[in-house]
Copies of this chain bind each other. A is one copy, B any other.
Amino acid sequence: MADSIYEDYPPALNPAQKEFLVRTVKDWATQNGLVVRPAPTFVSKEADPHGVLATNAPVTLFPSPFPRTCFEEAKVLQTVYNKLYAAITCSEEWIGKIMEDLIDVDDFISNLWKVHLAVQKEGYSQTLSLGLFRSDYMAHSPANSTDPQLKQVEFNTISSSFGGLSSQVTSLHSELLESPPGSPIAYPRHPLLKPKGVPENTAVETLSAGLATAHTAYGPSKSQPQLPTCILFLVQEGERNIFDQLALSRQLEKVHKIPVFRLLSSEILDHTLISSSNPSRPLIYSSPHAETTHFEVTTVYLRCFYAPTDYKSERDWEARTHLERSAAIKCPTVLNQLSGSKIVQQVLATTTGPDHLQAFLADTDPSLISRLRETFAPQYDLSVSGKGRELALNPSTASNHVLKPQREGGGNNIYKTAIPDFLKSIPENEWKRWILMELIHPPAAAKNVALRSDGEVLGGGVIGELGVYGTILWDQNGGKILHNEQGGWLMRTKAEGVNEGGVATGFSSLDSVLLF
């Protein structure tokens, strides 16, 4: 059923239609801040020494069909997922046990865990914790299946990005579906391409409201005399995706009237301090452009420090520890970041042994818990006695699996029949770094056309991933939840496409959904 939807979508474009659509998308994106700074491979530092140039974010020309049942289910489950990951983050001992095995083999996990232990020893000065999460899914549509199923790819607990730009892509596609008003002809005729086909997307509102809630919950300044308060966005140097972040800070300043500053992760120790004489440990920020005005930071929002490459030296770990021990509400804390590791996802999905889901969600409607469990793709560790080893080493079962590094954001997956040989090629004591996951099969016939940031237009078969945003504020001390919301989503569409010269090149584009 579902496949027939994808077969003849999107409609073919003749040259004039393509020219019009590409030009319209290109100009719309730039007019509305759906932009990125260009990659150095496109515009070199010498060509633009002051870094003023921008280009459209990579976007699909068409919204992508997505099963309505899967979309609605993902939204319904988001607040349950929020609760689950807050509960996991509160279960320090449980996380500690899972991390134990990894600390030997993974420096990054080990260093994060050390930050937590150091601050725990001194005592945390802030018990509130903020999560801006994104749960990523595919519509699992195996060849012989009747209905598509929602299957989780990963759960992000740090730097969940693209909410700002994703809202804009939704507006772009929605406007194209209705353009011009009264006589829509921007797209060629197609039964799926109808006005109001793309659901609303409140990602900017939801994520900003999450940050604003934390800001308010922080309460009055803890300094003597009291200081004005602010939210601090901690960011990477040379961030090309800056306009995604600025969409949130604009909303915070314009709608919530909250001061927001941006600070490079490398400058945290230069421009923030924690007075040793104040036991509450407020985090004080002073901007280099107005050094005499001090702000007290209520909330630190990390758009950095999520990958090992973000920690270039001991000083970066020092900065992370500095933030962690401050009174600012962290989005996220180190513990919350660790809860997003792939290994946690795998432990939750394990069907043998204790029922962790049930334990973490004790007060939740059991039917919701089982619906959430349904979103897990079967996944296994590679322990000596486990089923994972058996499935991974047998080529016939391996062919329906993927081997993933247990760490979040790892990449470097090993697919299908390559798994047995790969495992045999590495020492057995390193197998615990890997997780075996049953393959998710997105709709095989899905296609789209994308406008890349360098202006190339590529079409072809695609794989779409839906992310749903959620925000939660809880008290790490006892787990009381002060705020729990879902809202906004992201469709990302990836492909090996073919450009006009017939050369295969890839694209990864922002997209929106047409529910069917």
Contact = CB atoms under 8 A, between A and B. Distances in A.
B180 A31 contact: no
A123 interface: no
Interface string A66-84: 0000000000000000000
A456 interface: yes
Contact of A250 (B31, B33, B43, B288): B31
Among A20, A52, A185, chain B packs the most CB atoms within 10 A around the CB of A52
Q: What is the copy number of this chain in the assembly?
A: 2
A38 B52 CA distance: 10
A484 B434 CA distance: 72
A17 B180 contact: no
State which size class the interface on A falls in: 35 or more
Given A51-B455, A230-B180, A289 B19 contact: yes
B293 A183 contact: yes
A35 B181 CA distance: 26
Contact of A288 (B16, B51, B180): B16
B43 A53 contact: yes
Given A180-B230, A181-B258, A230-B180, A53 B38 contact: yes
Interface string A286-300: 011111010100000
Contacts of A32: 33
Contacts of A257: 181-182
Contacts of A453: 52
Contacts of A47: 43, 47
A293 B295 CA distance: 59
Interface string A48-59: 111111111000
B43 A35 contact: no
A491 interface: no
B261 A180 contact: yes
B454 A52 contact: yes
B455 A180 contact: no
A243 B455 contact: no
A228 B181 CA distance: 10
Contact of A228 (B27, B35, B182): B182
A253 interface: yes
A253 B20 contact: no
A48 B26 CA distance: 13
A210 B246 CA distance: 33
A86 interface: no
21 contacts: A16-B288, A17-B290, A19-B289, A20-B287, A20-B288, A20-B289, A26-B50, A26-B51, A30-B33, A33-B33, A35-B54, A52-B453, A53-B54, A54-B55, A180-B253, A181-B259, A182-B259, A185-B287, A185-B290, A185-B293, A186-B289
Interface of A: 16-17, 19-21, 26-27, 30-33, 35, 38, 43, 47-56, 175, 179-183, 185-186, 228, 230, 242-243, 246-247, 250, 253, 257-261, 287-291, 293, 295, 453-456
